[in-house]
Amino acid sequence: MTRLKSLKPLQLLPALLAAACAFASAPALAQDWPTKPVRILVGSAPGGGTDAMARAVADRLGPLLKQPIVVENRPGASNTLAVDATAKSTDGHTMVMGVSTAHAIAPHLLKLGYDNNKDLVPVVFVGAVPNVLVVNNALPVDSVQSLIKLAKAKPGQLNYATSGSGSTQHIAAELFKDQAGVFITHIPYRGSGPALIDLVGGQVQLSFDTMPSVIGQIKNGRIKALAVASAKRNPQLPNVPTMAEAGLKGVEMSAWYGIYMPAATPKAVQERVYNEVTKVLAMPETQARLSAIGADLTPMTQAQFAQFHNDENKRYGDLIAKKNIKLD
């Protein structure tokens, strides 16, 4: 304001006209965007929860934006490779299906090539899913307590798979180890898909994977679910107890997902993405698809999502420091 007040009337006119044009063009920018296919990057391999969430949105977002939506998997580094590529993208048509692993956990464990709080903007919250303690069918256990007994009898001989170091699976397993007083060995993978293959095959014995990744294999009997790491039972697995019901309190873990865009993305474009993705999430077909994989679809405004992002960063930062969790 100080600079504008110092201008003479004839000097002020161009500045006012420019501001007016910018204001008037914002809705037009949102309507004209996108002008080419949109990429949704995913930080894990196909077959995991993040991939499932991205494809559920992408499949119905394209017609609303009148452009193809391309889901591109870039697994690795605790889901942060996809986030890094999004933060540094300049094409105006790239976003990432963010996950708590990348946006709330990794910043406290990894040296990142971007600023998690400055280079990206949370745009629309998609949903959350609980982690589930699952075991290979050949493992001679049928409850959390029998697993704990076996792990104590064979310290270090049981392996647990995760989608990567610093994932919610990793944090959940470390909480389990702490509460149960057992030693099990961490085997990190580049996504839930390959981890699940080895869990079914018996190369690893257990996992605390997310519901979308394991629900199909649980229901077809290829792996056993011992407990859900949530405050209440999940409708998709009504006969599976919570960790608290199974005798271990304090082992609650869920993964959440949301769309992030580069911080330089015009506000009008962010609002367009928020509005159209919100429409997708309200569609009965999308809700049925995500509910079938155990997702909790709690709507948030963009401002609420930004606050949630900040709160989750603090929560996980405090937890990681308190439990002295480190990458393998």
Q: Which of 266, 273, 268 lies closest to 305 in space, CA to CA?
A: 273
pLDDT of residue 290: 94
Mean pLDDT (whole number) for 211-222: 94
In sequence order, what are the residues at sequence separation of 6 or more whose Cβ sits closer than 8 angstroms to the Cβ of residue 71?
A: 39, 40, 42, 51, 54, 55, 58
CA 75 to chain centre: 13
| Nearest-5° Cα angle at 123, 254 to 234 | 25
Q: Is the pLDDT of residue 8 over 60?
A: no
- Sorted by where each starts, the structural domains of the chain and their CATH numbers stand as 37-128+255-323 (3.40.190.150), 130-228 (3.40.190.10)
CA 103 to chain centre: 8
Residue with tokens 């993405």: 273
d(C-alpha 293, C-alpha 56), whole Å:
11
What is the per-residue pLDDT across 162-202, written as a single tens digit (0 to 9) for each? 988 888 999 999 999 999 999 999 999 988 899 999 999 99
**What pTM did the predictor assign?**
0.83
pLDDT of residue 30: 64
pLDDT of residue 17: 47
